[in-house]
Amino acid sequence: MSDVESTDRYKALGIPYPDPKTMCKGRCEGTGYVPVKFGPDEPWRTLWMCAEAKHPTDDGWHFVVCPRCKGTRLEP
C-alpha cells in the first residue's frame, strides 16, 4: 500500500489562507496567480502569449499574474 498525501493550492504555493472578506474574487481565488492554457478568451490569451514568449512551456500551461488583483491576492 502506498502513502498518499494531499494538499491544497495554498499549501502547495506556501502562502497563507486568504481572508474571505478581502481576498480577490477573480479566477486566482486569492492566490494572485491563474493557471492558463492557450485559448481564445481575453485577457488570458494575451497573458499566455506573453508568458510563452518569455519562457516556452512543454505542457502548454503557464501561471500568470491575476489581472484583477495584479498578484496582490486582495480584492481591488
Q: What is the pTM of this model?
A: 0.81
Question: How high is the pLDDT of residue 1?
Answer: 61
Domain ranges of the chain: 18-65
Question: How high is the pLDDT of residue 49?
Answer: 96
Question: How high is the pLDDT of residue 5?
Answer: 81
Question: How high is the pLDDT of residue 6?
Answer: 82
Task: Give exposure, 41-72, as e/b (b: 16+ Cβ within 10 Å).
Answer: eeebeebbeebeeeeeeeeeebebebbbbeee
The predicted-structure confidence for 23-35, as pLDDT tens digits, reads as follows 999 999 999 999 9
The predicted-structure confidence for 31-70, as pLDDT tens digits, reads as follows 999 999 999 999 999 999 999 999 999 999 999 999 999 9
